[in-house]
Amino acid sequence: MPDETGTSPRLNVLGLIAIGGLVILTIAHFRALGTLHDVQAKLAAIQADQTKVRDALNAEMAAEMAKVREAAVADEAARQKALESMRIEVAKAQRQVHGVASRVKQDALKSVADLATRVSANEQQLQQSQQSAAQIATEVSGVKQAQSSTQSNVAAVTTDVREVRADVANTRTQLDRTVADLRRVTGDMGVLSGLIATNQKEIDALRQLGDRNYTQFTLKKGKEPVQVAGVSVLLKKTDAGRNRYTVELRADDAKIEKRDRTSNEPVQFYVGRNKQPHELVVNQVQKDQVVGYIATPKVVAARP
């Protein structure tokens, strides 16, 4: 039943409820706004922290990049310094090389080129050897075979050396016997001669002794002298039956005639200021021809 104001108690309750709901909604709205502001504040704080972190990372990265650039610059400077030092050394070496005589320089450069070639070849061989173990094993086997072959060759060479030594000893013995059979006589100038050879075998033995130079000749009778061991020799006469001959020697603008000399007789004469006389020995006297040799000193000693 309505009251005196004409409103129903039920309507009053509904109004109060509506007002209460509105109040609640209003309160909820303000609370929601407060919560939204808090979230926005937190979001702003998070964004600020992210900005600080990003700025810190950027600064750290910039510092690291600066360090890297500084290190790169330092390395580049060091490389440039090393290159400059190498250029100086190369220039110094080139100046030194240019200062050497042309032939020596060419020999040195050739030696360097040969050495570089050998080094390159050795490097290639080493690389090839490292690439294939099987090849190395084959090469080792080949080396062993070569070593065995070398040992066999060494044994053969040793045998040959023994044989050569035996031959040399035998030859020396024969030489000693041949030299022992030779004789020394006094020449036509009263000077004791060297050993006198009477045949080719004895001349060869004297050559092996090496005391004098021996120049053999076959001289025919004629009008013009023949040069033998630096001396002009003119055969003027022969007597095959008596083994005698006459020659004219021309040396130092002087003529020396040696008359009626016999075979194997040392005919002595001086040339220049030599203290030791030259010796002419005729081994065979034939008709209009003689065969013999001239012995000259190996070391020229001047007469006082």
pLDDT tens, residue by residue, 178-211: 554 455 565 555 566 678 999 999 999 999 988 8
**Closest of 190, 135, 57, 249 to residue 258, by C-alpha:** 249
The arrangement of secondary structure in 187-297, i.e. its CATH architecture, is: Sandwich (2.60)
Q: Contact, 290 vs 238, CB < 8 A?
A: yes
Identify the sign of the CA torsion 239, 240, 244, 247. Answer: positive
- The confidence score (pLDDT) of residue 168 equals 52
Question: In the chain, where are the structural domains located?
Answer: 86-131, 133-181, 187-297
Quote the CA–CA distance of 252 and 125 in Å, as a whole number: 68
pLDDT tens, residue by residue, 74-122: 888 888 888 788 889 878 867 775 665 566 567 767 876 886 787 678 6
Quote the CA–CA distance of 29 and 182 in Å, as a whole number: 152
This prediction has a pTM of 0.42
| 54: Cα separation from own chain's centroid | 66
Strands 231-239 and 267-269: unpaired
Quote the CA–CA distance of 51 and 45 in Å, as a whole number: 10
Identify the sign of the CA torsion 271, 277, 282, 283. Answer: negative
| 48: Cα separation from own chain's centroid | 75
Burial level of 182, CB count in 10 A (0-12/13-18/19+)? middle
**Closest of 298, 259, 249, 247 to residue 276, by C-alpha:** 298
Low-confidence ranges of the chain (pLDDT < 70): 1-8, 93, 97-105, 108, 112, 115, 119, 122, 126, 129, 132-137, 140, 143, 150, 154, 157, 161-193, 300-304
